[in-house]
Amino acid sequence: MSKPLPQRPVIAVCGATGAVGREMLKVLEQRDFPATQVRALASARSAGSNLAFKGGTLEVEEMTEASFVGVDIALFSAGNAISERFRPAVLDAGAVMIDNSSAFRMEEGVPLVIPEVNPEDAFAHQGIIANPNCSTIQMVIVLDQLAKLAPLKRVVCSTYQAASGAGAGAMQELYDQSQEFLDGKPLTIEHFSHQIAFNCIPQIDVFLKDGDTKEEWKMVVETRKIMHQPRLALAMTCVRVPVLRCHAESVNVEFESAFDLEQARQALAAAPGIQVMDDPATLNYPMPGLLQGTDDIYVGRLRDDPSVAYGLQFWCVGDQLRKGAALNAVQIAELLINPRCSC
């Protein structure tokens, strides 16, 4: 483990001009994170620009190997290659890297942390803590509560992932393509493999030899690591949908033994970071278009799954830029400086 962290650390937001980086700054401000200083780091082309923060502005600095001198916690959201490049500089400076990319998630000795699920893992770090995949975070927060009712046997999940998961440019492409489609113009396709406007793409990341995509693989192996269940059976299908923000997931859970549906509902309603929206009589259920900018994971359509002996079905929605990325990273930082925090 690296040096003990001060109660008021110096924070560097790395990739500050990207969609998640900007959201990290918002979360630090909204949660009144007790930082002595916040530095905004990005590429050379963004250096000198300004970002709004706490009623003023932060001037963006070019991120170099020297940027981490005096930094206590570096919140990274700049992609795998950048995280890998700057890893030695961060560690040499004695800072903790909380990394939002997939570069280190499955590396031995790197904790993969959701504060509501496995906070104790964060304190086994050796200078790097990984933020899980956004879709993994959303699903596992719910699974962790359900696993307290009965052991999990198998989980099947289909995701409906927003454009925000592919970055700010992808969100703009959804805007632009929608307008082009309505105007009858040829569609500009750059960030996705196919048209995203008025379409669903059953591919996120590259295909692997077994036919799964890398996104689907991530959800499987990350879930097992976070929950410390290396043999948990999981089947994932990840789909990009024409939604700007908030991922949705349809999840079927098979338990090893009997559970009570109402008890499950009550446990989820009482859990930190989860809100139950589940009243079919009033058509009340979570929808991505209405939950943008929220911090919790919203669960609805809770019902028995009669196709197996002990089965439960649910639908959940969460903002990919908030709990799926920026918020989770900031909560890890809060945990590091205050192990007793509820985050």
Could you give the number of structural domains in the chain? Answer: 2
pLDDT bin (cut points 50, 70, 90) of residue 336 is very high
| Same domain? 127 vs 146 | no
**148 and 120 in one domain?**
no
For the chain, give the percent of residues with pLDDT over 70: 98
342 lies in some domain = no
In a domain, 4, yes or no: no
- Is residue 2 assigned to a domain? no
**Which candidate, 13, 8, 68, places its Cα nearest to that of 33?**
8
pLDDT in tens, 221-266: 999 999 999 999 999 999 999 999 999 999 999 999 999 999 999 9
Taking 60 as the threshold, does the pLDDT of residue 204 lie above it?
A: yes
Q: pLDDT of 100-123, one tens digit each?
A: 999 999 999 999 999 999 999 999
- Whether residues 276 and 309 share a domain: the answer is yes
Enzyme catalytic residues? 134, 247
151 and 109 in a single domain? The answer is: no
**Residue 343 pLDDT > 90, yes or no?**
no
Confidence tier at 311 by pLDDT (50, 70, 90): very high
Tell me which residue range forms the domain holding 109: 10-132+325-337
Cα angle 51-71-114, degrees, rounded to a multiple of 5: 80
In this structure, is residue 314 part of a structural domain? yes
| Separation between Cα atoms, residue 15 and residue 10, nearest integer Å | 16
Q: What is the mean pLDDT of residues 62-86?
A: 97
Please check whether residues 262 and 235 belong to one and the same domain. yes
Q: What angle do CA 128, 134, 137 make, to 5 degrees?
A: 80
Summarize the confidence of residues 315-328 as an average pLDDT: 97
Are 331 and 312 members of one domain? no
Indicate if 212 and 269 belong to the same structural domain.
Answer: yes
In a domain, 343, yes or no: no
Q: Say yes or no to pLDDT of 342 above 70.
A: no
Q: Same domain for 194 and 249?
A: yes
Across 65-92, average pLDDT: 97
Sign of the torsion formed by the C-alpha atoms of 62, 68, 73 and 76: positive
Q: Kindly report each contact of residues 220-225 with a partner whose C-beta sits within 8 Å and lies 24 or more positions away, as own/partner.
A: 221/106, 222/105, 222/106, 222/112, 222/132, 222/133, 222/136, 222/140, 223/136, 223/139, 223/140, 223/143, 223/155, 225/105, 225/106, 225/112
Packed helices 261-270 and 134-146: angle between N→C axes, nearest 10 degrees: 120
Is residue 1, in this structure, part of any structural domain at all?
A: no
Do both 143 and 126 map to the same domain? no
Query: Which residues, including other chains, have CB under 8 Å from residue 278's CB and lie 6 or more apart?
Result: 265, 284, 285, 299, 300, 301, 302
pLDDT digit string (tens) for 262-278? 999 999 999 999 999 99
What confidence tier does 146 reach under pLDDT thresholds 50, 70, 90? very high
**Do residue 164 and residue 201 come from a single domain?**
yes
Q: Which of 169, 165, 178, 94 lies closest to 325, judged by CA?
A: 165
Rounded distance between C-alpha atoms, residue 15 and residue 168, angstroms: 12
| Percent with pLDDT over 90 in the chain | 97
**What are 280-289's contacts with CB under 8 Å, separation 24+?**
285/315, 286/248, 286/315, 286/316, 286/317, 287/248, 287/317, 288/160, 288/162, 288/243, 288/245, 288/246, 288/247, 288/248, 288/317, 289/243, 289/246
Q: Indicate whether 284 belongs to any domain.
A: yes
What's the pLDDT band for 281 if we cut at 50, 70, 90? Answer: very high
Q: Is residue 186 part of a domain?
A: yes
> Quick one: 94 and 150 in the same domain?
no
Residues 28, 173: one domain?
A: no
**What's the CATH code of the domain at 299?**
3.30.360.10
pLDDT at 4 over 80: no
CATH number of the structural domain spanning residue 17: 3.40.50.720
CA distances from 107 to 94, 123, 128, 130, 225 (A): 20, 16, 10, 9, 11
Tell me what pLDDT residue 1 has: 45
If one counts every other C-beta atom within 10 angstroms of the C-beta of residue 69, the result is: 12
